[in-house]
Structure 1
Amino acid sequence: MTTSLETLAGQVPINNAPIEIIAFYLGDQQFCVRTTSIREIRGWAKSTPLPHASPEVMGMMNLRGAVIPVINTARKLGQGWSTPTERSAIVVAELDGAIFGLMVDRVSDILTLDQSMIQPVPEMTSGYDKGFVEGIFAHQGEMICFLNLDRMFSEPGKADFF
């Protein structure tokens, strides 16, 4: 991933280069991630639970012969446990050679947008941790929270999943 000039927060690029994202819902809130780390999108399939796994790990699934962990994305983001439905999907991602699935309530769109559309998350005094958030942007009357998978699954945290 290339890095460009950044704003005061040191997180949101300020150039107008287009980026491609995949947007998805967790409950009523939309989130998105860059497509550069996404390998594929699969329909919901039951995963096999693992004893003593991290609370975010729903279990393991077989992806064409490779066993990968499936993460409950809502739980990872501190939003409680998201129960899969027939509309749920597994967004298969790869970071530094590690492959894993992110369970989302539903995939909404694949978009191309200018990086200048992404705004920094405002400072809040309520103890909100914006460590996983790269920014936020408006799309069709909704605010979409732009997640940074590298930060969500940083080196210290990867040991919990891989």
Structure 2
Amino acid sequence: MSDPAVSQSGHRELVTFRVGNQDFCIDIMLVREIRGWTPATILPHAPSYVLGVINLRGSVVPIVDLSARLGLQASVPDDRHVIVIAVIENQTVGFLVNSVSDIISIDQMEIQGTPDVTSETTRAFIEGVIVTEERMLRVIDIKTVLPKSVEKRLRDE
């Protein structure tokens, strides 16, 4: 079965963003919206990378600090940060990022595998790497970034 995010021409559209001083991207088909930072309601005993939940038009949406989840320095959210709202299967999740850069269209063949010198965790989170003249983008496998409880719920559905 082919990936629905890859067009028949083999092109894929990705939303690029910054987390800390690093460049990442995810498939545009997973992105529902991009919104400004909204303070989250803290949930007791949530993992340290889960900032809490927000009300998104009547739905309770967990917010994941993508920087902390990827093992970078935890973010201190402010008005310049944005939340990328993504829908993974039937779960809506917000990911806190520093900024959204642009949308790119690339050939699937341009995505290089994650180098073998990285850790298992890195290979689990990173689907591949795109090298351009200006920067190096990591393609995130957003399902693996979800908190374990959300991943389990998705598997059980």
Q: Report the TM-score, using the length of structure 2 for normalisation.
A: 0.85
Which residues of structure 1 form unaligned runs of 5+?
5-12
**SS of alignment partner, residue 2 of structure 1:** coil
Deviation at 1:101, TM superposition (A): 0.3
Q: Structure 1 residues 146, 80: CA separation in 2 closer, same or farther (over 3 Å shift)?
A: same
| Partner SS, residue 131 of structure 1 | helix
Taking the aligned partners of 2:134 and 2:110, their CA distance within structure 1 comes to 14
Deviates more, 1:121-130 or 1:26-35: 121-130
Q: Is the 8 A contact 1:85 1:105 kept in 2?
A: no
Q: 5+ residue gaps in structure 2? A: none
How many Å apart are 1:157 and its aligned residue? Answer: 4.9
**How has the CA–CA distance of structure 1 residues 89 and 161 changed in structure 2, closer, same or farther, with 3 Å as cutoff?**
farther
Q: Does 1:2 align with 2:2?
A: yes
Alignment deviations for residues 2-45 of structure 1 (CA, whole Å, 9 cap, x no partner): 349xxxxxxxx9x9611111011011100000011110000111
- The Cα offsets for residues 79-138 of structure 1, whole Å up to 9 and x where unpaired, read as 131111222100001112111100001111111111111111211166763111110012
Residue 152 of structure 1: how far off its partner (Å): 2.4
Within 1, Cα distance between the matches of 2:3 and 2:99? 29
Q: Could you say which residue in structure 2 is the equivalent of 1:153?
A: 146
Higher helix share: 2
Q: 43, 68, 71: which one pairs with 2:61?
A: 68
User: SS of the residue aligned with 2:112?
Assistant: coil
Change beyond 3 A, Cα 1:16–1:137: farther
Relative to structure 2, which stretch is displaced further, 99-108 or 124-133? 124-133
| Counterpart residue number, 1:107 | 100
- Given candidates 14, 19, 32, the residue that maps to 2:12 is 19
Conserved? CA contact 2:11–2:106, under 8 Å: yes
Q: Which amino acid in the other structure matches residue 136 of structure 1?
A: V
> SS in structure 2 opposite 1:129?
helix
Counterparts in 2 of 1:159 and 1:124: CA distance versus 1, 3 Å:
closer
Kindly tell me the number of residue pairs found equivalent between the two proteins: 152
- Opposite residue 90 of structure 2, the aligned amino acid is G
Q: Quick one: percent identity of the two aligned structures?
A: 34
Query: Residue in 2 aligned with 1:123?
Result: 116
1:52 partnered with 2:45: yes
1:9 alignment counterpart: none
1:91 — aligned with what?
Answer: 84
Preserved CA contact (<8 Å) 2:49 2:68: yes
Partner of 1:7: none
TM-score (norm 1): 0.83
Indicate if the aligned counterparts of 2:13 and 2:106 stay in contact, CA closer than 8 A: yes
